[in-house]
Amino acid sequence: MTSVTLASADRIARASAAVLASTSLSTAERTAAGSAMELIQWPAASAREARSAAGRQVVAAAPAASRAAISVARAASRGPPSGAVPARTASARNGKAGTASAYGEGPSMGQTISFPGMPAASKTVLWVDDEAELLEPHRLFLREKGYDVLMASNAADALELLRRQGFDLLLLDEQMPGMRGVTLVREARALVPSLPVVMVTKSEDDQTLREALGADVSEYLVKPVNPRQVLSVVTRILEGPRIRQQAVARSFVERFRQLEQVRSRDLDWRGWVERYGEFVQWDIDLAAAGEMGLYGSLRSLYAEMHRDFAAYMRTAYPRWVNEGMEGERPPLSIDVVNEFLLPVLEGEKRALYIVVDCLRLDQWRVIEPLLTPLFEIDTTYYFSLLPTATPYSRNALFSGLFPGEIAARFPDWWGERDDETLNAHERELLEHHLKELRGKTAVRYHKISSAHDSDELERHLANAIAPEGVTAFVFNFVDLLTHGRSESAILYEVARDEIALRALTLQWFRRSALLAVLREAARKQIKVILTSDHGSIHCNTPATVLAKRDATPNLRFKFGEDLRAERPEQALLFTNEDELRLPRRGRGANSLLAVSDVFFVYPTKLREYQQRYRGSFLHGGVTPEEVILPLSLLTPRH
């Protein structure tokens, strides 16, 4: 067995302690976790590892020419892990057989089932039915499973009970004398807006179903129903979140030891895609489950991952862009049009090419589920050019050229000026690139950088997509959000960490012009290539830089003469622009790229920079968050 270092053991112990402290685990589960530390592997972990293995096999088997197929397993299958304990059979007490009714035969006293995780505290259900006396076996069965059930035979009594005490669930018959069930739902919601409702009816009429769904019921059952059906629905609604939380916690503790023992420095580029993708999914799952103790254990692994990734990129990246252009390397920014967009155009009259500036992998994964009703989604990954900044990475996405090549071939478009102006010719670069690849191709280009741009796009959405060729969109909101966060105290507060940034991105996307464009593409049956130009990293560590006055002002990358970091481990230093295929800046010019979560400061402005930029989301450096990016083919559903 692989030996575990003291640091590893300490982190494993902290993860175990977090599980033991979690209020979501039962006493028995805490005892098992504390005494064994070798938790059984739940189905969720097996499924997660199977998905990882499948993705690894697909990526490993795909040569460069076939990457255009984007055959990595669909991102839509990446749901939060779930693990259900097999139902167990328990001996039951003697008693009379269940009474036959419209609900089916009551439970035989010799038969009972046990669901994963008994309710942590007694939940109260209000059941409204004019046949309440026939439901006593069902009530006793639910009570045996840990639920208190109060019965009411009419709507008036039910509303009075709702006024007097709190209930966790309302279960009601749709057809009752006096007030209909749908009407009762509305009355009950007026008293308790968040109350979940399960409607039971004898009617299979479509109109009744539509009325129930219109009233926003949580579940709809058609009689006859048996007690196990009712128990299953009640358990799913009332205990589902807690059961899923337990499953996430168990799966992560099982996987944590393995993550500790696998050394990142031994990975190739495919291994890095897989490892970072798994970290991202755990990050999302643990945050969603509210397991903040385990979330902290996961975040403790990031520092080592950042160090190993920087060391890997220091040697691998110059080889990819110089020696290995035809060899073993990942897709880079310069490959996206040729390897992913071009195959779509070969089979389609037109296509959309969408770049969301500064969109990280975790942000993509939280907005992706909103698109699954509209598209079949196939996601793969590519590596951004260095530095991971818009003038370098995004120009490469449109031109298929390295920055040094752009400066040499189009000197009028690349000069010594502000970074923002270096992206002023993306449409021309895309037209030129497509012409070299397939002949003259129509290109329509939209850049959305403000609320006014969004309003104008939505106002003219019907004509925004060209009838043939490529329609390219660049959405700058996420990049503006990360930059504006450093300047705005309000934005800093609402997007103070990765979890909050994902939530804010999701909130924006729900009402964005981007979603409107994607809906229009789905309606018109147009395929979409959607990606990002670079990611960002939450920076908390200042790194002092020693430089002359000619050094550029960027916070995660710098160019200049005699440029160096006071602590060499905090940055990658390149003394020759050709190593990165960057424009030449003269003799003695160095390139300095930040690693991990550092941001560059000058000794003379140390306090000012720390106060202003600590905690900011920045880009331009060398971390998986900035470099490894999602690229998705969206195929409209018919």
Q: Identify residue 426 by its one-letter amino acid code.
A: E
Q: Which residue has the higher pLDDT, 483 or 519?
A: 519
Torsion 15-18-22-28 (CA) sign: positive
The rounded distance, in Å, linking the Cα atoms of 494 and 515 is: 22
pLDDT value at position 419? 58
Q: Which residue has the higher pLDDT, 362 or 587?
A: 362
Q: Decide the pairing of beta strands 443-448 and 469-475.
A: parallel
pLDDT at 303 over 70: yes
pLDDT at 112 over 80: no
pLDDT value at position 602? 83
3-state SS string for 509-548: HHCCHHHHHHHHHHHCCCCEEEECCCCCEEECEEEEEECC
Reduced to 3 states (helix: H, G, I; strand: E, B; else coil), residue 104 is coil
* Contact between residue 364 and residue 630 where contact means Cβ atoms under 8 Å apart: yes
* Contact between residue 547 and residue 560 where contact means Cβ atoms under 8 Å apart: yes
pLDDT value at position 91? 31
Tokens of 536: 């960002």
The rounded distance, in Å, linking the Cα atoms of 212 and 203 is: 12
Cβ atoms within 10 Å, residue 385: 26
- Tallying the residues shown for the chain, one arrives at 638
Mean pLDDT across 549-566:
88
344-390 pLDDT, tens per residue? 999 999 999 999 999 999 999 999 999 999 999 999 999 999 999 99
Tokens of 622: 């060398």
Tokens of 140: 């006793």
318-337 pLDDT, tens per residue? 999 997 666 689 999 999 99
Share of residues in the chain with pLDDT > 90 (%)? 50
- Whether the full predicted model's pTM is greater than 0.95, yes or no, is no
